[in-house]
Structure 1
Amino acid sequence: MSSHHIVKEDQEPALIIAQLGGIPDSMLSQLLEWNPIVITDAQNIALVTQQAIKVDVLIANEPVDLPQDHILLLPMATSFLDTALTFLIGRKCRAANLVSTDTEPDLIRQYADQIHAVLLVNGKRIFAAKSGFSKWKPKGETVFLYGDAVADIRGLRPTGEREYITVADGFYSIYFDKPYGLIGERL
């Protein structure tokens, strides 16, 4: 099979760019490899297009000089991220990567039953997981837990605020007292 696969529209994760500094350029290139839907806002459009990234959706409430053709302009509802996720859910998009430097991760938990959103921020990958989440990791790997929904933890030892380390090679498990909790890993 060749390395050129057919990807159906909206099958690949969309890319929401809140701030470009959230991840290394090499990772950004990987995220753009399959030509996802790219969404940004008025504050970031110039920087994003300077990086030769084709923007599909611009969220803004004020008039903006569009640096590219064929950009869908959406008015901002409550917030940029809320508007972007609501738009993607309306398109039946199943996943999105969100690049940022300072976004509060709780928003992705609010939408967890409608879209799989991953926050890439400051060297971390943060995602919503169902209670009973289990994953294999080698001993000594760092796991971050966000919010107040954690009910039980197995295979992890606390090392700081919201920070845990795997105690052995093998699976760790996290149980929440809400349908979803937030887990972070280093990139």
Structure 2
Amino acid sequence: MSSHHYVKEGQEPALIIANGEMCSYELLVSIMEWCPFVVVLDGAYARVVNLQITADVVIGDFDSIEGLPQNLTTQFIHIADQETTDLEKALAFLINKGYSDINIVWATGKRLDHTLNNFAIMGKYPGHKIVIYDDHSKAFVLPKSFSKIYNTGDKISLIPINQADGITTSNLMYKLDNEKLEYGNRSGTSNQVIATGDVTIRYTSGVLALIESID
């Protein structure tokens, strides 16, 4: 499967395939349909090759892809820097190329330390729309003012990345009114939409992520 396909005008996020637990093939294909540019972390390259997916770029130290076929249309970028993770390297690469919307799969599961770090990394890029998908959830950092239509009973969680202040919500069962959430102290997990319609979330400072449960 090639990453080059029809993309509707104005809908051109990039995709990063990380090295965590694989999501379903159906989810991967559905996300790729909207992503004209695919970056693969080198640790995931063997699995991507097995799925017959052609990446635009592979990033990493390449210790783990020796002997695997290398497509002539794929660019291999060696970055030996040990101060940043491969996911951070891929995000920096895409941001430098001008991408503001970036989807990420295979970033959860397997090693817990990697999962937690991958989630925290989203908070480093508040000016970009970075979304992590797996088979059970969709996670992204919220802008300071957010509104979206949800259905009655939809489950969402508000997770501060370090801390978020002045949080006010509407149409959620557990309402917040100018309140603070702090990682390790108080978070907003397992909230629920009261009625089909707009859910609004506003906050004044810090970084606040939203996780939509999709299973």
- Please indicate the TM-score interval, normalised by the length of the shorter structure: 0.7 to 0.9
Q: Could you list the runs of 4 or more consecutive aligned residues of structure 1 that deviate by over 4 angstroms after TM superposition?
A: 4-8
Structure 1, gaps ≥5 residues long: none
Of the structure 1 ranges 67-76 and 36-45, higher mean CA displacement relative to structure 2 is found in 67-76
Counterpart mapping for 1:59-74 below 5 A:
59-63=59-63, 64-65=65-66, 66-67=68-69, 68-74=71-77
Q: CA–CA distance in 2 between the matches of 1:21 and 1:181?
A: 25
Residue 133 of structure 2 corresponds to which residue in structure 1? 120
Q: Is the 8 A contact 1:130 1:179 kept in 2?
A: no
Of the structure 1 ranges 62-71 and 125-134, higher mean CA displacement relative to structure 2 is found in 62-71
Counterpart mapping for 1:27-46 below 5 A:
27-33=27-33, 36-46=36-46
Question: Which of 156, 167, 170 is the matching residue for 1:154?
Answer: 170
Of the structure 1 ranges 63-72 and 24-33, higher mean CA displacement relative to structure 2 is found in 63-72
Q: Is the 8 A contact 1:20 1:48 kept in 2?
A: no
Q: Is the 8 A contact 1:45 1:58 kept in 2?
A: yes
Structure 2, gaps ≥5 residues long: 110-114, 175-186
Q: Is the 8 A contact 1:97 1:119 kept in 2?
A: yes
Corresponding residue pairs, total: 181
- SS of the residue 2:90 aligns to: helix
C-alpha change, 1:124 and 1:171, in structure 2 (3 Å) is same
Q: CA–CA distance in 1 between the matches of 2:129 and 2:150?
A: 21
Identity %: 26
- SS of the residue 1:15 aligns to: strand
- SS of the residue 1:96 aligns to: strand
Residue 52 of structure 2 corresponds to which residue in structure 1? 52
Residue 176 of structure 1 corresponds to which residue in structure 2? 203
Residue 25 of structure 1 corresponds to which residue in structure 2? 25
Of the structure 1 ranges 168-177 and 137-146, higher mean CA displacement relative to structure 2 is found in 168-177
TM-score, length-scaled by structure 1: 0.82
Q: Is the 8 A contact 1:16 1:98 kept in 2?
A: yes
Matched, 1:110 2:124: yes
Q: Is the 8 A contact 1:39 1:57 kept in 2?
A: yes
Q: Is the 8 A contact 1:22 1:120 kept in 2?
A: no
Q: CA–CA distance in 2 between the matches of 1:73 and 1:6?
A: 24
Q: CA–CA distance in 2 between the matches of 1:172 and 1:7?
A: 27
TM-score, length-scaled by structure 2: 0.73
Deviations 1:13-70 (A, max 9, x none): 1111114745321121122235622112222100111101101211122444352223
Amino acid aligned to 1:152 = T
- SS of the residue 2:95 aligns to: helix
